[in-house]
């Protein structure tokens, strides 16, 4: 029983690693301070910060459907995980004029795609050691070195930040960095 629970916890930690929780206050007059842009898989938690009854309810045209129902009391919370890219306008059904916002959900993958372009290597040309620099958002993936014929000469985890190229013949090579299904290629010259 204990082992099963531990295994579940372990899996939970792994599968939610990249996801973020965003906190919003929810009260009369909160105005437009409840707009958020989040990544797919992120969770939003609304916390009731006055003593009045409120709801968190999606408006027509919202990508996802959600409704907290009526809750009353300071410290009450409603939590929703957004798993679809899109726009989610919402309101409090009791105070629609002063309590409404939009949760915009963007693709986590496109952020990564953008981030991968920040991959760099130096020096270039290189004769012995080259160093890779990866944007901090990129945490998983592989780095490969291939020659002009596409032959793979080197494969490592993305965490490896230096590579000894002194054994390579002089010429042009490609460094391919891959993360979560996205690839980015840079050229380097061995001299």
CB of 55 to Cu ion, least distance (A): 7
Q: Which of 100/190 has CB closer to Cu ion? A: 100
- Residue 65, token pair as written in the block: 């459907």
Query: Does 165 sit near Cu ion (CB under 5 A)?
Result: no
Residue 100 binds Cu ion (CB under 5 A): no
- The residue from 7, 94, 120, 161 that contacts Cu ion (CB under 5 A) is 94
The verdict on 92 binding Cu ion (CB under 5 A) reads: yes
Which of 68, 71, 48 shows the shortest CA–CA distance to 58?
Answer: 68
**Minimum CB separation from Cu ion for residue 82, in Å?**
21
**Pairing assessment for the beta strands 152-157 and 142-146 based on DSSP bridges:** antiparallel
Q: Which residue has the tokens 């059904």?
A: 93
Sheet of 182-190, strand order: 152-157, 142-146, 171-179, 182-190
Query: Measured from the CB of residue 67, what is the shortest distance to Cu ion in angstroms?
Result: 13
Smaller CB distance to Cu ion: residue 30 or 145? 30
Q: Which is nearer to Cu ion, 99 or 134 (CB)?
A: 99
The rounded distance, in Å, linking the Cα atoms of 174 and 188 is 6
- Could you tell me which stretch among 7-15, 35-43, 94-102, 113-121 binds Cu ion (CB under 5 A)? 94-102
Pairing of strands 86-91, 57-58: antiparallel
Q: Which is nearer to Cu ion, 24 or 92 (CB)?
A: 92
CB 15 within 8 A of CB 7: no
Q: Are strands 71-72 and 53-54 parallel, antiparallel or unpaired?
A: antiparallel
CA 104 – CA 118 distance, rounded (Å): 25
From residue 43 to residue 72, the character string flagging contacts with Cu ion as x (rule: CB under 5 A) and all else as - is -----------x------------------
Q: Report how many residues bind Cu ion under the rule CB under 5 A.
A: 5
Stretch that binds Cu ion, among 29-37, 64-72, 85-93, 130-138 (CB under 5 A): 85-93
Rule CB under 5 A: say whether 80 interacts with Cu ion. no
Does 95 participate in binding Cu ion (rule CB under 5 A)?
yes
Which of 39, 142, 149, 59 minimizes the C-alpha distance to 99? 59
Footprint of Cu ion (CB under 5 A): 54, 92, 94-95, 99
């Amino acid at each position: 029983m204990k082992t099963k629970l531990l295994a579940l916890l372990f899996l939970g930690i792994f599968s939610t690693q990249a996801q973020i929780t965003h906190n919003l206050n929810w009260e009369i007059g909160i105005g437009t301070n409840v707009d958020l842009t989040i990544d797919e898989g992120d969770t939003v938690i609304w916390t009731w910060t006055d003593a009045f009854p409120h709801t968190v309810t999606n408006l027509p045209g919202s990508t996802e459907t959600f409704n907290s129902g009526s809750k009353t009391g300071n410290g009450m919370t409603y939590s929703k995980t957004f798993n679809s890219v899109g726009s989610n306008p919402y309101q409090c059904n009791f105070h629609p004029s002063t309590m409404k916002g939009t949760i915009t959900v963007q693709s986590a993958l496109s952020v990564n795609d953008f981030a991968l372009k920040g991959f760099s290597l130096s020096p270039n040309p290189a004769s012995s050691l080259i160093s890779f620099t990866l944007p901090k958002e990129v945490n998983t993936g592989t780095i490969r070195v291939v020659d002009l014929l596409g032959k793979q000469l080197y494969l490592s985890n993305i965490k490896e930040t230096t590579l000894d190229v002194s054994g390579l013949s002089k010429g042009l090579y490609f460094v391919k960095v891959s993360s979560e299904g996205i690839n980015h290629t840079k050229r380097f010259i061995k001299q």
